[in-house]
Structure 1
Amino acid sequence: MTPGQALTQTRQELRLPSFRTAMVAGSSERIQRALTEFAAACGCTYACRYQSRELLEAELSGAEFQLTVQARSIPADGSGTLALPAEDAMQSEVVITGTPLDGRSVEGVLDDVVKFLHREASAYTEDDLDQIVENMPLLKRYAQPDAAWNSWALIFRDHYVENSVGFLLACERAGLAPEWIYALSKGDRTAHRERVHATFLERGYRSAVLDNSVIDGTAGESMQQQALLVGAEVNAFIRLAHQAGRRVLVIDDGGLIAQGRATGGTGWERIDGAIELTVSGLRRISRTNVEVPVVNMARSQLKTHIAYAEIADSCLRRVRSLLHGQKFIGRRAVCLGFGTLGARIARGLRASGVRAVVVDTDPLALIRAAEEGFETARGLRAALEREAPFLITGSTGAQAVTPEDLTSLPNGVFLAGFATKDFSLFSLNTEDLPARKIAETGTEYVLPHGGSVILLGDGRSLNLYEAEGIPNQGYDAYRAGTYLVATAMCRTAKDLPPGVHLQAADQIIEDAGLFDAYYDTYIATDTTDRCGVMSLGADYV
């Protein structure tokens, strides 16, 4: 018997009440709505004893239990959002006390109430949503009512973070009805993923998970089965849209397109246009016969020169936050990959005093790294023969550590992956290494020759592990650019030939004046037309 089970048994024997606590966004009014819904769902009785904006006391009664719910609303501390809370934003402390009837346990129903509160009352409040919109001023300015959206449905697959909420709110403002939005999470453990999911459902979107591991071919059986169910739901959504006379646009990282939705593949409903966000997605698309127009955002000037800098910054900040007790200055790190992201990570580490060694299979990348002053190696083992790093970063998008590399890894080294596959040997534990979870940090794996390594996070994009990744303002321009391209697709998709369009995004963004708007909003020193964040002129619309 565990200590928790023993405590529960003692409480039952002494007939002491059990209790649970919860912290929920919003005022007591929101708690009451959720409790009313819970009572209706489980067939029990809800009775409110007292309620004001700040306080709530209520009862939930069933045949086998009686619960007392007390809630107190206090000023929001901002822990559930990126922005500073609005002046009158509230959150509620909730205590639920349970008394069993006929000696039966109430532990299960207490847990059920807490889960229900977290699910039903965790959506962003209107104050929260206003803050998200205000902190993405470029997106706010460009997203105006546009009839081009009226005849479309949208499937949006990306990380469940606040800037994704901001983007879909922008689509709503443009005229896209909420019931024609299907949001899909890529499965990363982002800090506010449950709040994002709850918000999408509350607004009337469909929301589900299509995990990256399914796309990469590393998913287990249960994840694959879930993906099949989601795929069937996506098919049904596309059919419904077409039956309603709507066309379907996908904003994606390659997962849906690679499945055959842009090719009319067997078993998949065909979409009408797509926007590709990632290089890995482009690689997947290149292996298919695309029969609809696909606009490339992955290699756009906007992503290359602005978005990747923000992504790299978020990666480095997350490493430092997880390794806050480690010395960085003067120590060695090995950086696997010197592409668009990997090069920025290597430069960022060097700027903070780390002596970085670059590993890449592309000789041109090694030449670039060497001519920037980095030490280089063609492979990980070659680098480890010379150095004993305290940190290895991975941004290759391919398996970067093989079983043959295990004997070369130094004891105690930290592994920081910024793509799903780089350290999949550990995250999937394909070698059955003894493992130990380290709370809020990652997993320690014992190596065959002795010693151990520590995989930070869950082996996926570390900047998104229990974090929001990029600040909303940091991704404002990229989301605004994606919105502009999506709007143009809604207007012109029928006139675009099938295939991947590499230059279209750059032209659309240039014509809209987004880079001028970005400079004037975030960089220019002239504050004469600013109020917090500069309002944009009509020329940028």
Structure 2
Amino acid sequence: MRRWPDPAEPHPRGHEVAALDDGGYAHTVDTGAGRVTVQFTPEPDTAPHSLEHSDPPTPRWRAAVLTEGVRPDDPGPAALARALADALRNEGAAFSATEVATLWEAMPLLRRYATDDGALADWALIFRDHYVENSVGFLLAAERAGFSPRWIYALDKGDKTLRRNRVHGWFLSRGYRSATLDNSVVNGTATDDEVRRAREVGADVDAFVRAAHAEGRRVLMVDDGGIIALGSARDRLVTEQPDAALELTVSGLKRISAAADMRLPVLNMARSQVKTHLAYNEIADSCVRRLRAIVPGEKFVGRRVLSLGFGTLGARVARALRATGCRVTVVDTDTLALVRAAEEGFDTGRSAHEALRRTRPFLVIGTTGEDALTEADLALLPDGVLLAGFATRDFSLLSEGRVATKTSDLPGVGVRHTLPGGRSAVLLGDGRSLNLYTYEGIPNRGYDAYRAATLIAAKHLCRSAATLTPGIHLGVVDDVVRDAGLYDAYYDTYLADTAEPAETGAEDGGDAHE
């Protein structure tokens, strides 16, 4: 059903369009068994509903679906009304062409490398990552590089990112398939109903791979979590193997390495130079910004923080909190990491239990990706302590209910757990990565280089998959990214005071493959 902003425009027989006093309009369809009306009302100008502001602002409308003269026993008009509501919900959620063009403009490095590559013409793409704005930029770049929208399948990891519905709506509007394959299923924390839905999506992904192969296409998977190697070969959510993969996470690499039947080349983005030296700085920044935003009334300066983990992410978060004025105690089971922390001047301890016996933190940070606290540790937590996990399993002892506690929701903040003895701890967010909880996470420009590097690696992998041996390849990513000139372009675009920004490729973002 089309929408006509101008009631004077012609419309099909049986349709009526009438202007309303508030500047909106009503579009009515006579079904023969009742009337169904969609009423559009203009919304007042508000702050942007995206990271980038557009000029002029994108107009917003409120839509209501109404029925009139419909018999209760006639399912036809009601079904039409529901279908209209679903269609409007998806269409209304999608980013506008202006918003996408503005987003595209904000990622100049990605634009630079989004040039057509004939090697991608016979490939299909499965992309599983968080539904954030820079994912929109990446898949638009993938289109421009040569992937057909019909052969792109996007999968959300299930985090409550701020604009996930808008990302999903835009993906559908482009002609992609879009669904959720929840990370809780990967981590073994999903409910039976979530597992059932995940298996349905997995079966659809399998069908997508088979259909691509039937048309003579090869399949590339860009994954954040190693879903292709989860479980035994017989029980996996996705059983059809792609022809090549890019893995974005260390946990995913571990799963793939442990799967003896993985017979495909996998490029290692997780430990690449671009992720280690550029992306993790932005991830850590997003963690600290989200932390400060979710408890805006909290004092940080001068207070004790316990940071569990001093790896690539944990070290950066600890340094950022110390720069804020926090007194940070670092715990890590890796002695070398502990040595590094101590020699950087951090207070250190070998275990959370030891650290909690001698300190009284107001905040405990987790960046380990594993259980960071034991049940014995809970007994030492100060009353009212805040728990902030930036990897999914850090505080799963509480988030998964493996310890009996009385809980109360704190909307927009997290969950208060009443511990034995009457003390309480507030688990911020939903127990998953806090920097993705009702938050957009990383600025588009902040992830520009990493998304560009992923595209560079994807194009190389599609060109050379037939010559790469099965298994995980690290040096390939570092070599092709450096050879592509990405670091020079990054420096000239964002950091140099005198150099001109590097020339970009495609200039606008709304018309790829249309």
TM norm. shorter chain > 0.5:
yes
1:503 CA drift (Å): 0.7
Give the aligned length. Answer: 496
Query: Structure 1 pair 235/31, CA: closer, same or farther in 2 (3 Å)?
Result: farther
Q: After TM superposition, list the pairs within 5 Å mapping 1:118-157 onto structure 2.
A: 118-157=89-128
Q: After TM superposition, list the pairs within 5 Å mapping 1:459-470 onto structure 2.
A: 459-470=431-442
Structure 2 match to 1:19: none
Query: Structure 1 pair 28/313, CA: closer, same or farther in 2 (3 Å)?
Result: farther
Structure 2 match to 1:48: 17
Which of 438, 453, 468 aligns to 2:425? It is: 453
Structure 2 match to 1:170: 141
Query: Structure 1 pair 227/265, CA: closer, same or farther in 2 (3 Å)?
Result: closer
Does 1:324 find its partner at 2:296? yes
Q: After TM superposition, list the pairs within 5 Å mapping 1:389-538 onto structure 2.
A: 389-526=361-498, 529=500, 535-536=503-504
Partner letter of residue 434 of structure 2?
Answer: L
Query: Structure 1 pair 307/291, CA: closer, same or farther in 2 (3 Å)?
Result: same
Give the 3-state SS of the residue equivalent to 1:415 in structure 2: strand
Structure 1 match to 2:510: none
Give the 3-state SS of the residue equivalent to 1:484 in structure 2: helix
Q: 2:344, 2:380 → 1: CA distance?
A: 27
Partner letter of residue 344 of structure 2?
Answer: E
1:258 CA drift (Å): 1.4
Structure 1 match to 2:41: 71
Whether contact under 8 Å (1:55, 1:73) holds in the other structure is: no
1:404 CA drift (Å): 2.1
1:472 CA drift (Å): 0.3
Structure 2 match to 1:346: 318
Q: 1:48, 1:261 → 2: CA distance?
A: 57
Does 1:203 find its partner at 2:203? no
Q: 2:222, 2:21 → 1: CA distance?
A: 44
Whether contact under 8 Å (2:38, 2:63) holds in the other structure is: no
Structure 2 match to 1:251: 222
Deviations 1:384-433 (A, max 9, x none): 11111111110101011222222111110111111110111121122232
TM-score by length of 1: 0.85
Q: 2:410, 2:377 → 1: CA distance?
A: 23
Partner letter of residue 295 of structure 1?
Answer: L
TM-score by length of 2: 0.89
Q: 1:147, 1:271 → 2: CA distance?
A: 20
1:265 CA drift (Å): 8.1
Deviations 1:173-214 (A, max 9, x none): 111100111111111000000011111111111111111111
Q: 2:216, 2:22 → 1: CA distance?
A: 45
Query: Structure 1 pair 430/514, CA: closer, same or farther in 2 (3 Å)?
Result: same
Query: Structure 1 pair 285/96, CA: closer, same or farther in 2 (3 Å)?
Result: closer
Q: 2:280, 2:316 → 1: CA distance?
A: 8
Query: Structure 1 pair 264/117, CA: closer, same or farther in 2 (3 Å)?
Result: closer
Asked which structure has the greater RCO (Cα within 8 Å, sep 6+), the reply is 2
Tell me how large the CA RMSD over aligned residues is: 3.2
Q: 1:405, 1:474 → 2: CA distance?
A: 36
Whether contact under 8 Å (2:132, 2:161) holds in the other structure is: yes
Partner letter of residue 276 of structure 1?
Answer: E
Deviates more, 1:285-294 or 1:485-494: 285-294
Which of 22, 27, 35 aligns to 1:58? It is: 27
Partner letter of residue 60 of structure 2?
Answer: Q
% of aligned pairs identical? 50
Q: 1:240, 1:522 → 2: CA distance?
A: 42
Q: 2:237, 2:115 → 1: CA distance?
A: 38
1:380 CA drift (Å): 1.2
Whether contact under 8 Å (1:167, 1:483) holds in the other structure is: yes
Whether contact under 8 Å (2:227, 2:237) holds in the other structure is: no
Query: Structure 1 pair 487/402, CA: closer, same or farther in 2 (3 Å)?
Result: same
Structure 1 match to 2:332: 360
Structure 2 match to 1:286: 257
Give the 3-state SS of the residue equivalent to 2:245 in structure 1: strand
Q: 1:489, 1:260 → 2: CA distance?
A: 25
Whether contact under 8 Å (1:201, 1:207) holds in the other structure is: yes
Deviates more, 1:59-68 or 1:337-346: 59-68
Whether contact under 8 Å (1:279, 1:298) holds in the other structure is: yes
Query: Structure 1 pair 462/60, CA: closer, same or farther in 2 (3 Å)?
Result: farther
Query: Structure 1 pair 73/445, CA: closer, same or farther in 2 (3 Å)?
Result: closer
Whether contact under 8 Å (2:40, 2:61) holds in the other structure is: no
Query: Structure 1 pair 70/154, CA: closer, same or farther in 2 (3 Å)?
Result: closer
Partner letter of residue 421 of structure 2?
Answer: H
Deviates more, 1:248-257 or 1:164-173: 248-257
1:257 CA drift (Å): 2.6
Give the 3-state SS of the residue equivalent to 1:286 in structure 2: helix
Q: 2:83, 2:327 → 1: CA distance?
A: 51
